[in-house]
Structure 1
Amino acid sequence: MGKKIAVFSMTPLFPELALGGAQKQLKKVALHLGELGHQVTILCTQRRDAKTPFKWHENADILPVLRFKQPYPEPYFTPLYHIANAMRRVGAAIAEADVHYSHDGGLIFPYVYQDKPTVISLRSILFAETLQSALLFQGDEWILPSEHTRASYEAVVGQFAPAVGERMRAIHNGFDWQHFRYTKPAEIFGVITPEVADHPVLLFPHRPDSAKGIDEVIQVAALLARDYGWDDLRVLAPRWLDAESEPGQRDYYQGLRRKISQADLGDAFVFHDWINDKLIAEYYSLADVTLCIGSYVETFGNTPFESLGCGTPPIVSRVGPYRDLLPDEHIARVDYGDIEATAALAHEILSDGRRTSPATLRYLQSEFSQKAMVAAYADVILGARKKPPLHYRMPQLSDDTRYRLAPWCYIAPERGIFHDFRGDFQADADLIRAAQQKPAGFSGRSIDAQQLRFWLDEGYVTPLVGQ
């Protein structure tokens, strides 16, 4: 007997288009559950151009009925009655279902789902409503896409709800490697001018968020043209869906064009329409190097994996899960902000005509299988059982409290401690010494009180009070 599953998505959904990696993963999970014979009903935010219900599968209905603010961010910056109506609609759907699944956070009111088995997957560690969902968590199972994200949330929420870690599970994103493989560019030239193929191509396949690294990409492209002789480069970057209609987006792209002009890059940057799933493999395959070099703290980050699958080597910054999701032999990494190292690596890849190695392709297919991912999600969602409410309490810090380096920090041998959320390096010899000598935790008694307060206030350390 199939189950009824009520799904919440704060982000708008489309029949073919995906606004980000989280929505791609949701579609994969929904299709799998539908194939198993379960009835999936997804309530999502509507847009002016996306109000009509549709199906991903005969058993997967998408209802764009929620009226949270668009475009993103600040979805709750909307009239009170829109929030009330959304809560009623979602609550009614959950009441009729056997289990509730909340994808990508945003449903910050536990009483909406408190009576049914609930699985929550948080796909951001930055957005306000996702953080609120975490710190108000009362779900029965908590899925996170990487160990970095799990460790970060447990380090924070676990201070107040010591048992929360027992409900957490890291499930890596998985990919259809029959789709994400080298695909000779053809239809993509209906979106991107064919002459691009006559040039070396850098790819910046990200939404227009400066933290994603567009300013760093401009600097890298300028350095490649000036110092390495790649003066015929083309850099591909998508325009956001609201690039022409939303004033903030128009201003953003105008500012980008000014920066590109000031860098003497002329026609190097090619801005194009958003690429749908059907063309994405051709898009990656068209490029020579994919750049993921921003300071944005991903919770997983699909782009490097998709690019590798299509044969195009990515360069990623050592930020968040990019530090350790793939072994060093399968990906090129740079410290955030190291433009010279990035340009040197890109020059090597361009000069060698390097593509993804067979060994890396085998590793991806073995460790990041879509089949394994959707099966793991289905096991958690279908097996969810109602548990007692999590107990929250206020932690007490004392002289005996132990601390350790926060999961969002790492020690760079030559640059000090990098802090994911600050996006900078701190050359703090005392903290480096304490973290290296006692990685499992050091006593607050051994540290100057003022110094410890600074580390705690600025997020360099977390207290071990819930473990």
Structure 2
Amino acid sequence: MHENTVDSDVVFLHADSLFIRPNFHNAKIIRSLHDYVYEESLLSSLLLPADVTVVPSTYLKKTVETTVVMSNLRDLEDIVVIPNGVSGYLTPKTRSIPHRLKNRSNDDLIILFPHRADRKKGFKEAVNICNKLQAKINNKTVRLFIPFYNDDRERDESSYRYSELQQIINDLDTSNVVELHNWLDTDEVHRYLSLGDVVINPGAFVESFGLVPLESVLAGTPAVCSRVGALRDLEGIPGLYHVDYGDIDGFVEKIIEAINVDQSTLDDGKNHVETVYSIESMIDGYDEVMTGSYDKTKKMTLDEHHLVLAPWCYKNGNFIYNDYSSKFHHYPKLNDVFSFFPGTTINLNKFSSPDILMEINKAREEGCLTPLIV
């Protein structure tokens, strides 16, 4: 690869990684990051230079900026948000779509969980949600469809094995609700999503964009997802509902609301996704980045006397949810004097109470407060 890039003006590194980084001489380096969970993207952003970094969401932009500046390992380049393009298309291939989904009964309520087997994607939560949903809806048969590779191939510890999923289903006595079926090909996803009643995204995984709920809305199916990571950026889209992570009853209520939504709301959501997240807009964004001029580094510093709510956190009542701990944190004394809303700052010079200062330090240690970037 090194020889092929010697005369290049621009080198684009999709999902930049330490392992494929030779010396690109004087070429303009544009990289994209599509998660901020796995070590490849974390190390890339912290250790490797680039002229421009492309990310798919405002959430990821703020998270990367804050992390890199706080690390003090290098100066920050321009970080540009280009949302992923979301497309939907029908295909004549339907072999992986479950037969019972294609020939559903009028009494069926089909809930789709189209996620990989990562333990933080919310498999257990989905099963518990549908169990409670069935107990609340007597006139429908709740069926939770989950695609999966039907084998026990070696997986890393972050993912369930097929036998583990079966064990969870048996332990929770939900075999009458859950249906595992063969994994889907990419070109089958749109049709699959269009055949469900609701798509759910109940996990704690820190999403960097939110492709599944957007694809669902585009397919005309409402989606209910956890208020985690970049999924929070999608609040307000018609047909897309948010619930705090871990709130099983809240998910049940939102699913009931979603299945009763009027068609005009679903149409508005579909139009929104087609307009804001079009393939054409994504291509135009990359074209502008490839041909545009950007500052290679931006000198950003930390104001240690002013603190803000970390971009990977949000306020929920008297609690602060942290995406990376997957927990709600509570700072009762600090909560009395600071709103924790985005854009507001804590001026440390104005506080002298030992109790409040102790909570401020605790919030910093737990990653909920970060210094203001200037």
User: The TM-score by the shorter chain falls in which range?
Assistant: 0.7 to 0.9
Question: Contact 1:404/1:461 (CA < 8 Å) preserved in 2?
Answer: yes
Question: Contact 1:297/1:319 (CA < 8 Å) preserved in 2?
Answer: yes
| 1:442 aligned partner | 346
- Offset at residue 326 of structure 1 (A): 3.9
Question: Contact 2:53/2:78 (CA < 8 Å) preserved in 1?
Answer: yes
| 1:92 aligned partner | 3
The reply on whether 1:106 has 2:17 as its aligned counterpart is yes
Question: Contact 2:6/2:25 (CA < 8 Å) preserved in 1?
Answer: no
- Offset at residue 302 of structure 1 (A): 0.4
- Offset at residue 435 of structure 1 (A): 4.2
Question: Contact 2:47/2:74 (CA < 8 Å) preserved in 1?
Answer: no
TM (norm. structure 1) is 0.70
> Could you tell me how far apart the structure 2 residues matched to 1:388 and 1:344 are?
48
> Could you tell me how far apart the structure 2 residues matched to 1:463 and 1:348 are?
40
> Could you tell me how far apart the structure 2 residues matched to 1:396 and 1:306 are?
38
- Offset at residue 408 of structure 1 (A): 0.8
1:443–1:253 Cα change, 3 Å: same
| 1:72 aligned partner | none
Could you tell which deviates more after superposition, 291-300 or 191-200? Answer: 191-200
Question: Contact 1:101/1:119 (CA < 8 Å) preserved in 2?
Answer: yes
Deviations 1:289-310 (A, max 9, x none): 1001111111101001100011
1:429 to 316, 332, 348: 332
- Offset at residue 416 of structure 1 (A): 1.2
Question: Contact 1:312/1:356 (CA < 8 Å) preserved in 2?
Answer: no
- Give the partner amino acid of 2:245: Y
Question: Mind listing any 5+ residue stretches in structure 1 that lack a counterpart?
Answer: 1-89
The reply on whether 1:167 has 2:70 as its aligned counterpart is no
| 1:15 aligned partner | none
Aligned-partner SS, 2:62: helix
- Offset at residue 168 of structure 1 (A): 1.1
Question: Contact 2:132/2:252 (CA < 8 Å) preserved in 1?
Answer: yes
Deviations 1:402-424 (A, max 9, x none): 111101111112x5111111111
Deviations 1:384-403 (A, max 9, x none): 67x667779xx788xx6211
The reply on whether 1:237 has 2:142 as its aligned counterpart is no
1:349–1:401 Cα change, 3 Å: closer
Question: Contact 1:108/1:132 (CA < 8 Å) preserved in 2?
Answer: no
Could you tell which deviates more after superposition, 98-107 or 304-313? Answer: 98-107
Question: Contact 2:61/2:80 (CA < 8 Å) preserved in 1?
Answer: yes
1:357 to 249, 263, 266: 266
1:348–1:186 Cα change, 3 Å: farther
Could you tell which deviates more after superposition, 376-385 or 242-251? Answer: 242-251
1:138–1:361 Cα change, 3 Å: same
2:122 to 187, 199, 213: 213
> Could you tell me how far apart the structure 2 residues matched to 1:277 and 1:462 are?
39
| 2:99 aligned partner | 194
| 2:230 aligned partner | 321
Aligned-partner SS, 1:202: strand
| 1:405 aligned partner | 309
- Give the partner amino acid of 1:210: R
Question: Contact 1:114/1:138 (CA < 8 Å) preserved in 2?
Answer: no
- Give the partner amino acid of 1:411: K
Aligned-partner SS, 1:342: helix
The reply on whether 1:459 has 2:367 as its aligned counterpart is yes
> Could you tell me how far apart the structure 2 residues matched to 1:293 and 1:334 are?
8
After superposition, residues 378-417 of structure 1 pair within 5 angstroms as 378-383=287-292, 401-413=305-317, 416-417=319-320
| 1:344 aligned partner | 253
Deviations 1:240-273 (A, max 9, x none): 4x94432658962212111112222224322223
The reply on whether 1:143 has 2:47 as its aligned counterpart is no
Between the two proteins, the alignment pairs up a number of residues equal to 363
Question: Contact 2:309/2:341 (CA < 8 Å) preserved in 1?
Answer: no
The reply on whether 1:375 has 2:284 as its aligned counterpart is yes
Question: Contact 2:235/2:242 (CA < 8 Å) preserved in 1?
Answer: no
Aligned-partner SS, 2:48: coil
- Offset at residue 328 of structure 1 (A): 5.4
- Offset at residue 381 of structure 1 (A): 2.1
- Give the partner amino acid of 1:252: R
Aligned-partner SS, 1:366: helix
> Could you tell me how far apart the structure 2 residues matched to 1:245 and 1:438 are?
44
- Give the partner amino acid of 2:207: E
Aligned-partner SS, 1:278: helix
1:380–1:388 Cα change, 3 Å: closer
TM (norm. structure 2) is 0.86
> Could you tell me how far apart the structure 2 residues matched to 1:353 and 1:283 are?
21
Aligned-partner SS, 1:134: helix
1:333–1:100 Cα change, 3 Å: same
- Give the partner amino acid of 1:143: V
Question: Contact 2:306/2:347 (CA < 8 Å) preserved in 1?
Answer: yes
1:169–1:108 Cα change, 3 Å: farther
1:451–1:282 Cα change, 3 Å: same
> Could you tell me how far apart the structure 1 residues matched to 2:296 and 2:267 are?
48
| 2:186 aligned partner | 277
Identity rate, percent: 25
The reply on whether 1:223 has 2:132 as its aligned counterpart is yes
- Offset at residue 374 of structure 1 (A): 1.1
| 1:37 aligned partner | none
Question: Contact 1:418/1:424 (CA < 8 Å) preserved in 2?
Answer: yes
> Could you tell me how far apart the structure 1 residues matched to 2:156 and 2:81 are?
36
1:139–1:107 Cα change, 3 Å: same
